[in-house]
A and B are shown apart, each in its own frame.
Chain A
């Protein structure tokens, strides 16, 4: 607009060094726009910082866990009533037999450390100890029955309340109504820290472990659901990449341009915009109810996510193929290559960086997806058993990282909340890693003409 009126203006004699009013206005408009742009970027960065710092502040504590070092006397009279150390008989001693032994062990440790506390019964120790400790000790004894009769030092998890106290989540003033911990037990926890029995350390089990039930937040880990995500991504990669690339090569290089291919093209673009939950319902109907694939299996999850990722891969692959200049095809055809040779020997290799970038971004999208998994039974208390062997991983029930985070966020014990944030950190690291790989691939292999 201003350009058009510029020429109509009366030319007056003026030095170029003197800025006239109109130029001033234009310059002002430009600097205003610059400021707006900088402001927009600033707001974006501020939100990013707020988001990331919230995630880190809330989630970092999930990587630390409180442990107790307790000497436990493995009483043969309780664990091996027949005295024959027969594994079949040893298995009959359930975790309910082991729990009191650990409580006794902790009480003995408290008394021998000379800590003064009004808590003098073995049962008083229960709230300090994670209920996972019994199973941990039982597994150890079953693996090595010769331990029975000895006093072993067990590194066991402290309960989620004690852990919360050490992390500043549980306060003395607020636990009057809490039946899972008492003020005396917190006092004892303080004394145990001084005595070196209770301490906080890095918790590898959060990254590698399996999900735990609602009563033992301290034991829950994201490892098994990470495996579930891995298997799903494998299925997506193995299916979506070849199908997507084949479809785009055909559409781009071989298919005749007519109404029918136009229709297909429009539909692919539409599919990319379909909400992911729709693919979940489709997966439930087709893969589980019709094809009778197992529920909660990463195989089915991967198939559903494949459907979701295909349009993304097809669209980006076609864009990459389009970006290869026609002169390369013409040159190949001109020296006698067949259309297929021209495509596979020349066009496809040149388009590969773009295809890979699109695939990785599609995978990253699929990795963060929860909604379709709700419908095929992958959300709940599921990620408990690591698969036996590689192939079993496809069909044995499992969850996925985002589904696990969602599940934790809705559980009652506030300790799970911290783990949900911790899970988000791990998920973000994965997404960041995938995006970095995509960028590196693009930088390294991309060619410009």
Chain B
């Protein structure tokens, strides 16, 4: 379908791989501080959720404020699996399976939540997804789950209520969450997952199903009039979006020692933060989401040295990026520059 010149999606893969290579070389050379090394995996999984959310916001055209919730279910389900299989399966099999389980569970939740939510539009949909994200987080926060010789025990009040036998183990310890998830994820794996997420998202956009989803975004009534099944395709977009967020959750839970369903990890603030990445990276622009997530996640962390000025600089950057992306003057300027580049390099870019 695309012509001889490398398409934009191919460039995205190349850039991501280059970034990975540079980081790996720097790491080998010992040029990365341990603080920065600790930020690599989070930056990548935020990039992944941003890709997932962009499918919902940019491609499907529905505002979701609950994507942290999908991350949350992906994280918890895969963690439970990994702990259960810790001594039976080698990491090479365990982690891919955990990944699939996290994705499947997030997709399932996407489907279940999608049934009521996708009947709504616009602001209403945003509000309800926000609520669902919070509900998921709060339930997991209050859940005590243990297993013993008699089977599974669950409670919403306290650990004591579980009535575990002497041989029992706690799986989810309420607000204390899950501890002891094997730390299977590293930067390389995270990059691989990011590449797969990009691959899925960009392929979807350039396919029959992707076109149907975008046609609903652009004009629902017209889409219906040419025989597009609205419910089916809205659900497809939403589920894929949730599944990708779930994959990010799996990376998250396998890169920290204690997984808690706290607000700082899965609250609505996180959902909004991800939305900021999507909006500033360009709604509907998949590769832009990756760039925005990486830069905007790393920036405030790297500015920690500036302490109180940190958030000031961060917000100035946000405003600058927003203007660059959306202000008419900036857009005109970009079109001009793009035209000049096209002239110089003779490469045809799609508008």
Partners in one complex: no
